[in-house]
C-alpha cells in the first residue's frame, strides 16, 4: 500500500523537503531508483547518484539536503530513518494463526492465541509457545522449551530441550539452539563425554541468522541478552554470555565460557578464545583473533590487511628476520 511522503515525515519526526503528496510504495537504491521508491544517502561514496536518481524520494542528512533533486526527508541519521521507513513495506505476519494438518503437536504442549505452526513442524510435550508465535516448516521444538510472544522461527529451526527464547525474536532457517556443548575429557587415551546439563536462555528482540548454532551450558546456562543481533553461520559455545545490544557478524566463533559485554560489535570471522572477558562497548574488526581479555572499551584489530602476493611475501620475510635483528641490537647495546 502506498503512503504519502508527508505522512512518513509526520510519523517519524522527519523534515519534509519538496512535494509531500508524492506516494511511496516501496524502497530502492539511489543508483537503481524507480518511481514510487524511497532511497537514502548515508555513505558519501554514493553521493554522486543523488542528483540523477530516479527514486521518488530520498532520505538525507541536513548537509545533503541542498543537493536533493527529488522530494526528500531530512534525518539526523539517514540509515536509521530508512530502517524505520522501510519497515512500512514489510508484509505483516498472519495474526490469525493456523496449525497445519501435517504438524505434530504433543497434547502436553501449550499454545497461546494466534500461534501458527507450518507443515512438518514438531512441538514436544511441555513446550510453551506465547501468543502470536510462528513456527516454520520442519522446525523442531523440544521438550519444555519456552518461546515468548510474537517470536518467529524459520524453517528447520531446532530448539533442544529446555531452551528459553524471549519475545519478538526472529530465528532464521537452520538455527540450532541448545545442542550439546563441546565438553570432553581425556581418560587413558580416549575421550569421554562431559555431560552438558545447562540450557540456553535468549532474551527479547534477538535476531539469530541462518545456520547459526548456540550450544547449551555445561553447568550454568549459555545466555544471550536482549536486542542482540547475530548474523548467519555464527558458532557460540557452551557457557558463553553475550550482553544486551551487541552484534556479531557472519562466521564469528566464540569458544566456551567467554563473556562478551553490552553494545559490543564483532566483525566477520572474529575468533574469541575460551574463558575470556570482553568489556562493554568494544568493536573488534573482521578476522581478528582474540586471545586475551579486553578490559577497556575501544576498537581492536589483528587481521592483516590485503596486499599483493609479492608485497605480502616481503612483509612475512621481514617479520621472520625480526628475531635476528633483535639479537643484533642486544649485542650492540651490550657492547659485545
- Domains of the chain (ranges plus CATH)? 3-89 (3.40.1390.10), 104-300 (2.160.10.10), 310-336 (no CATH)
Task: Please check the confidence at residue 271 and state whether its pLDDT lies above 90.
Answer: yes
Q: Calculate the CA dihedral of residues 158, 161, 166, 170 and round it to 10 degrees.
A: 0
Instruction: Give the predicted TM-score (pTM) of the model.
Output: 0.91
Cell of 87: 519497515
Q: What is the pLDDT of residue 95?
A: 63
Q: What is the dihedral of CA 169, 240, 245, 251, to 10 degrees?
A: -80
3-state secondary structure (DSSP) of residue 247: strand
Residue of 100, 238, 245, 275 marked active site: 238
Average pLDDT for 297-323: 93
Instruction: For residue range 176-203, list pLDDT tens digits in order.
Output: 999 999 999 999 999 999 999 999 999 9
Residue 116, pLDDT above cutoff 80: yes
Is residue 245 among the annotated active site residues?
no
Kindly state the percentage of the chain with pLDDT values over 70: 99
What residues have CB less than 8 Å from 42, skipping those under 6 apart? Answer: 61, 77, 78, 79, 82
Stretch 51-74: mean pLDDT:
96
Amino acid at each position: 500500500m502506498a503512503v504519502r511522503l508527508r505522512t512518513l515525515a509526520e510519523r517519524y519526526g522527519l523534515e519534509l523537503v519538496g512535494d509531500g503528496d508524492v506516494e511511496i510504495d516501496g524502497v530502492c537504491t539511489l543508483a537503481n531508483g524507480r518511481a514510487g521508491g524511497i532511497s537514502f544517502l548515508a555513505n558519501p561514496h554514493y553521493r554522486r547518484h543523488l542528483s540523477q536518481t530516479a527514486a521518488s524520494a530520498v532520505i538525507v542528512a541536513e548537509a545533503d539536503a541542498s543537493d536533493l533533486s527529488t522530494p526528500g526527508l531530512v534525518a539526523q541519521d539517514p540509515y536509521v530513518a530508512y530502517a524505520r521507513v522501510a519497515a512500512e513495506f514489510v508484509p505483516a505476519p498472519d495474526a490469525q494463526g493456523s496449525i497445519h494438518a501435517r504438524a505434530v503437536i504433543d497434547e502436553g504442549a501449550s499454545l497461546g492465541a494466534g500461534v501458527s505452526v507450518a507443515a512438518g513442524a514438531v512441538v514436544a510435550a511441555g513446550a510453551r509457545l506465547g501468543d502470536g508465535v510462528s513456527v516454520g516448516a520442519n522446525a523442531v521444538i523440544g521438550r519444555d522449551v519456552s518461546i515468548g510472544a510474537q517470536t518467529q522461527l524459520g524453517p528447520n529451526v531446532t530448539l533442544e530441550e529446555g531452551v528459553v527464547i524471549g519475545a519478538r525474536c526472529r530465528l532464521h532457517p537452520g538455527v540450532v539452539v541448545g545442542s550439546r556443548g563441546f565438553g570432553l575429557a581425556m581418560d587413558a587415551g580416549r575421550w569421554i563425554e562431559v555431560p552438558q546439563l545447562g540450557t540456553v536462555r535468549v532474551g527479547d528482540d534477538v535476531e539469530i541468522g541462518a545456520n547459526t548454532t548456540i550450544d547449551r551450558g555445561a553447568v550454568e546456562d549459555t545466555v544471550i541478552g536482549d536486542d542482540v543481533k547475530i548474523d548467519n553461520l555464527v558458532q557460540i559455545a557452551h557457557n558463553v554470555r553475550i550482553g544486551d545490544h551487541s552484534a556479531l557478524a557472519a562466521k564469528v566463533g566464540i569458544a566456551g565460557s567467554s563473556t562478551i559485554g553490552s553494545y559490543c560489535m564483532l566483525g566477520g570471522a572474529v575468533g574469541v578464545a575460551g574463558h575470556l572477558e570482553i568489556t562493554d562497548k568494544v568493536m573488534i574488526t573482521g578476522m581478528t583473533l582474540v586471545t586475551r581479555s579486553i578490559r577497556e572499551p575501544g576498537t581492536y584489530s589483528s587481521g592483516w590487511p590485503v596486499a599483493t602476493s609479492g608485497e605480502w611475501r616481503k612483509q612475512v620475510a621481514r617479520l621472520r628476520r625480526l628475531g635476528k635483528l633483535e639479537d643484533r641490537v642486544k649485542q650492540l647495546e651490550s657492547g659485545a
